[in-house]
Structure 1
Amino acid sequence: MAPNTNFNSVVCSPIEEKKQAGGSEKTASTAVDYETAIHHAGQGKFQFGVMAACGLYYIACAFQTFCISYLLPSAECDLRMTSYDKGLLNSSPFIGSLAGACIWGKLADSWGRKSVILTALAIDAVAAILSSFMQSFWPFFLLRLVTGLTNLAAIPVCYPYLGELHSSKYRSRALCWMEMFWALGTVLVPLVAWAIIPRPWLLGSAEIGFRYNSWRIFIAVAALPSVLSISAIYYFPESPAFLLTKGRHDEALEVFKHIYHFNTGRPAHSYPVKRLEMDSSLESKGGWDAEDADQKKESLISRLIGTLSQMADLFRPPLLKNTMIGLLSLFSLQLGYFGFGMWFPELFNRFEEFQIAHPNQTASVCEVVAMEVQTPQWMLDWQNENITNADIDCLDDTIQPQVFINTFSIGSACIICALLTGTFVERIGRKRVIVTAMTLTACCGAGSYFVRSASQNLALSCFLQAFNAASFSTLMSVIIELFPATLRGLATTILMNISYIGSIVGNIVFGALLDVNCAIPVFLSAGVIGGCGILCLFLPNNKNAVIS
């Protein structure tokens, strides 16, 4: 990043130092609120570091979400997948994330943000590596469900974790810039896939019932970002906001001192804040120790009832309005991003096939979709009862290079848009960015009906995904401020993971209606996104909101 941005280390002028020195006398004798404490800790190297660590998680999530799309042409013969199986496998991360929606959110508010992230990533890495050894579809599918249950389901915890380590002035910018890491992941996935999958690497053979070929190696390598993310996040502290919700005042203060020392280079004991404001209910309980003892006495049933009660709080006043707007908006964005997005490679392939069959001719999306696809030879061989598994050659199955190039272009467009969004979001206004970006996403989605070439389809795809990503990251920066700290982890995971139903619905709608009448899924998805863009006009205008 450029050294002249506002997101640099704190360097105080002599006048500011005097102000801080004067302010330190007050903060030493009086308790300060959370925003004042994080402001005195400064903004600089620590925030850059934690953003990079969380960014690795985003890259890991992109790998686990999109790696399936690139191995399907190579793996469908090995795993004997039908079109239904491929659709099911493509949706496996989202299906798994629905099962983990409540689990990780509740644990994030009970165990801590950092603990949940590390646990989820560790399970994800093990499941991903094990899946590469599976020789049949259903064991492979079940392990991919586990990666969705952990990696994708727990990533919403990163939003409160990262947001709580930034002051209100920089929070929106940081969360918008995080979208660059997701886009970077979508760029790296096709590059790594292109480097590995086409290679004729093979251990074992069909005769012995074990094949470990290039696409399996790609699956194992795709777990590497999860391992790197564990190593990076391990060295950062727990969120002080979480520690305060548990009455752990001294630990929270130590975190602020650590951030202050890391950003300014000054001794931790010179941090001007000496006391933090505590929730009166926690103080009356005697702090963390009393609460911890009470929790140990709770039965499993009472904890379950408590979790359900917290979930119910999200769906009744005063939080009901925020919950519904956030849920519907995220649903529409997921429907657009994964509904449109997961079918772009298929449309790219069909455009390429059309141009090969009809050079120098143009066609609409509907005309391209209507083309008949030739049944591959290995699928015909399966139907021959006299041919065994050992007789079927799966080595020629691979993905077309143009798919990698197109996906790389889309990811690059998303990186540029995320950088611009993070830089100018506070000047423009978050609500304006969300509504404008969602409206442009809807227009690009509807416009895809009118494209007449592969190059036009690629250009529109880049704009659609870039605007969608910009609206999503900005919306998440607003959502984390709409809920109190005691419910923030649960709220973000429930809203984000339930919204993944949008991605499942998008895939099903496109798959079911694309060959029937391609205009229906295109305009239906665009209409849903545009409608929810209008709904976002009712979001509260909470610029520089204070985290509770």
Structure 2
Amino acid sequence: MSRHVNGAGRTEGPSSESASLVRHATNPFMSYTESNAAPAEADSAAAGAGAGATTDPSAAPLADAAELDTEDSVLSQFHEDAIQQAGVGLFQFMLFLVLGLSLAADTIELFVVAYVIPSAEVELCMTSIQKGWLGAITFVGMMIGAIIWGVLSDAMGRRRTLVWALTVNVIFGIVTVFMPTYGTFMLSRLCSGVGIGGSIPIVFAYFCEFLTKARRGKYLSWLLVFWSIGGVFVAFAAWVIIPRTGVMVVIEERAHFSSWRVFLLVCNLPSILALLGLTFMPESPRFLLEAGREIEAMRVYQRIYKWNHSDPCAQYALTELELPKQRGYRDAERAPSKTIMAGLVTALDKFWSRLSQLLLPSHRSTTLVLLFVWFMAAFGYYGLSIWFPEFIKMIKSRDYSTKATFVIDAQYEHNYFNYTISNTKYINSTFSRCKWSNAILNHVDFINCDIRESVFTDVKSSRTNFINSTLIANRFVDTDIYEYRFKNCTLLNNSFQAMVPGCKLDFDYNLHYVDVFQENLIGQISLLPGSFIASYLLDKVGRAKMIAVSMLISSGAGFFMWFLQTKIGVIVFEAAFNMVFISGWNALDVLTTEVYPTNLRTTGYGFISSVSRVAGVIGTLTFGQFIEVNLAIPMLTTVAVLAMGGLAALRLPETKDVLV
């Protein structure tokens, strides 16, 4: 079998395993031939010049045009050789940083809601259901964005589409900061999610198309380190900006511009910096070759070479003469459009036809297996990412309840309460002509109590209730002790004046960002060693095997969930689980990037990524119901889901030797 492309040129270094550039003795054109023998380069002259030429007799004969392999194979080999000659150095490092910021922005978009909700729920007066939807709306936006931007990237270019996606993310990310109501806040969060949804599919495809086959696995795995760096960034930003206790949140809510809004503004920085960095980056040369824009591709190769070689006299070995012959545009929408909108309209016109190609016989099996593995991985990981902190919260809540102070049969007369009372239960107690002023009642219950002729002034309360009690001739002035706090009580001649306006929801003051920060930080940092392990083993073990091994080990580790009874135990298990699981997920990212041809690379990845977002929503909702149930249910669910995903991964094709 042989491959050749018309064009004059020189020979690239020989290889026994891949096609190489050789020059035929009687034809001054470049050819890609697949041979176990080393190719030779012979000097040749134009016809009639009289110059002689020699050829290595061991070189395989060139094929006729009828015997050519697909154009994709020819372009892939040319691209591989061109990148090898351009080298890997400063250019790839700068691109690594720029795309890493884009990847960090994806993590921030996912985790920022968890830090915002405790503060925003007071100002926007969100119920539990509304808070759940605020978390889910980000996944919905990312699902939509992954499909749209993925298809557009294959049609309009990696860099161009990524710039548009990040621009949408930045614009609506900033708009979100100033949204005054829950509805407008949700809408802007949805649009922001749509923007960042294109980040992962495009980032991996864009970066891998500047790397040689030998370096792809390692460098892509290193790129995923930024995913955890994004998580660390958002945790530190929350620690510095957002109030650290529930009481501080309520007090700070009176400010004109709440700190959680400042936090949202700061979280746009990675996307903004990535946008600025992309202005200095070129389009993917592999995409340009695929689109028939060979001259532009060659300029990109030459630019990479200049970045990677400090010697000003150094010259890139390949020239325009050695490009594959001009083939014209394979698809009409791939021709450079005069306007961005014209290209967008043309690309969207063929949106469904491009998606349908993923289910053609040549891709159907791979697509279906990938969908299943991604669904299982996302369902398990995002489900557990909700279960871990909620389970810790439940453990702490139970521990807090056991430390409650019980005051029984006490009598208070003319007492003055101007301090914080926490975790206290007054039972069968009497309060006569007492005064509560500038006090905070946090998790306080008055059970079977008698309260008469007392005054509550400027009192803030959380999880505080009056149960089976009698209240007579009391005054409530400028407090948040609303009617729902009185449960089965007898109320006579009480007055409620100048009640605190705004949200009447019962906000929990037992919010401590120290704990949230620690749990999230440890969980994110634990991803780092897993990413480094993946970068070392990815090319040695192979993508598919690493996915299977990682998911099966994670599945087996799920049995240890049965023994989780303490906060420390949960955090340690989460860190170990993340470290093992992320190595497989890294391999899954890399394999998904490599398995599709150039014209479907981001379309396929985007479609699969969107399905994984759906799995993430289902996983969080499912595991969210497992907090109060027997540990066997989340344990067996985790074991079963990850085991099925790991076994299915064994059917995935190996892609470590694939040319992009």
Normalised-by-shorter TM-score class? 0.7 to 0.9
Q: 1:352 to 1:115 in 2, by over 3 A?
A: same
The answer as to 2:556 corresponding to 1:512 is: no
Greater shift in the superposed pair: 320-329 or 425-434: 425-434
**Contact kept in structure 1, 2:155 and 2:334, CA below 8 Å:** no
The secondary structure found in structure 2 opposite 1:480 is helix
What is the rounded CA distance, in whole Å, between the counterparts of 1:310 and 1:477 in structure 2? Answer: 22
The answer as to 2:383 corresponding to 1:339 is: yes
1:51 to 92, 96, 117: 96
What is the rounded CA distance, in whole Å, between the counterparts of 1:161 and 1:338 in structure 2? Answer: 26
Superposed CA deviations along residues 383-410 of structure 1, whole A, max 9, x for unmatched, are 5496452587989685431121121111
Alignment of 1:98-109 (within 5 A): 98-109=143-154
Q: Per chain length, whose mean CA-contact separation is higher, i.e. which structure has more relative contact order (CA < 8 Å, sep 6+)?
A: 1
**Contact kept in structure 2, 1:35 and 1:546, CA below 8 Å:** yes
The residue type equivalent to 1:336 in the other structure is: G
Match of residue 129 from structure 1: 174
Alignment of 1:29-44 (within 5 A): 30=30, 33-44=78-89
Match of residue 389 from structure 1: 501
1:80 to 125, 130, 142: 125
1:183 to 219, 223, 228: 228
Match of residue 227 from structure 1: 272
Alignment of 1:267-282 (within 5 A): 267=312, 270-274=315-319, 275=321, 278=324
What is the rounded CA distance, in whole Å, between the counterparts of 2:461 and 2:533 in structure 1? Answer: 47
1:482 to 595, 612, 617: 595
Match of residue 320 from structure 1: 364
What is the rounded CA distance, in whole Å, between the counterparts of 1:35 and 1:423 in structure 2? Answer: 22
Tell me by how many angstroms 1:540 deviates.
1.4
**Contact kept in structure 2, 1:64 and 1:223, CA below 8 Å:** no
Q: Which runs of 5+ in 1 are unaligned?
A: 1-15, 360-372
Greater shift in the superposed pair: 307-316 or 283-292: 283-292
What is the rounded CA distance, in whole Å, between the counterparts of 2:545 and 2:128 in structure 1? Answer: 41
**Contact kept in structure 1, 2:443 and 2:463, CA below 8 Å:** no
Match of residue 542 from structure 2: 429
What is the rounded CA distance, in whole Å, between the counterparts of 2:654 and 2:252 in structure 1? Answer: 60
The residue type equivalent to 2:591 in the other structure is: V
**Contact kept in structure 2, 1:203 and 1:213, CA below 8 Å:** no
Match of residue 71 from structure 2: none
**Contact kept in structure 1, 2:125 and 2:503, CA below 8 Å:** no
Q: Which runs of 5+ in 2 are unaligned?
A: 1-10, 32-76, 404-441, 445-459, 465-479, 485-495
Tell me by how many angstroms 1:243 deviates.
0.8
Tell me by how many angstroms 1:301 deviates.
9.0
The answer as to 2:262 corresponding to 1:217 is: yes
The residue type equivalent to 2:182 in the other structure is: F
Tell me by how many angstroms 1:19 deviates.
8.7
What is the rounded CA distance, in whole Å, between the counterparts of 1:149 and 1:74 in structure 2? Answer: 24
Tell me by how many angstroms 1:355 deviates.
3.6
Q: 1:307 to 1:235 in 2, by over 3 A?
A: same
Superposed CA deviations along residues 154-179 of structure 1, whole A, max 9, x for unmatched, are 33111110111111101111111112
Q: 1:42 to 1:154 in 2, by over 3 A?
A: same
What is the rounded CA distance, in whole Å, between the counterparts of 2:91 and 2:203 in structure 1? Answer: 16
Tell me by how many angstroms 1:287 deviates.
10
Tell me by how many angstroms 1:148 deviates.
1.1
What is the rounded CA distance, in whole Å, between the counterparts of 1:420 and 1:290 in structure 2? Answer: 39
**Contact kept in structure 1, 2:170 and 2:268, CA below 8 Å:** yes
**Contact kept in structure 1, 2:155 and 2:347, CA below 8 Å:** no
Tell me by how many angstroms 1:294 deviates.
12
Q: 1:205 to 1:36 in 2, by over 3 A?
A: closer
The answer as to 2:587 corresponding to 1:440 is: no
Tell me by how many angstroms 1:430 deviates.
2.3
2:183 to 134, 138, 157: 138
Match of residue 236 from structure 1: 281
Structure having the higher helix fraction is: 1
Superposed CA deviations along residues 411-452 of structure 1, whole A, max 9, x for unmatched, are 111112212221232123322321111112223334223212
**Contact kept in structure 2, 1:332 and 1:502, CA below 8 Å:** yes
What is the rounded CA distance, in whole Å, between the counterparts of 1:407 and 1:286 in structure 2? Answer: 47
Identity rate, percent: 27
What is the rounded CA distance, in whole Å, between the counterparts of 2:390 and 2:115 in structure 1? Answer: 11
Match of residue 197 from structure 1: 242
Q: How many residues align?
A: 512
Give RMSD over aligned pairs.
3.6
Q: Which has the higher Rg, Structure 1 or Structure 2? A: 2
Alignment of 1:398-477 (within 5 A): 398-477=511-590
**Contact kept in structure 1, 2:152 and 2:347, CA below 8 Å:** no
Match of residue 310 from structure 1: 354
The secondary structure found in structure 2 opposite 1:30 is strand
What is the rounded CA distance, in whole Å, between the counterparts of 1:24 and 1:219 in structure 2? Answer: 52
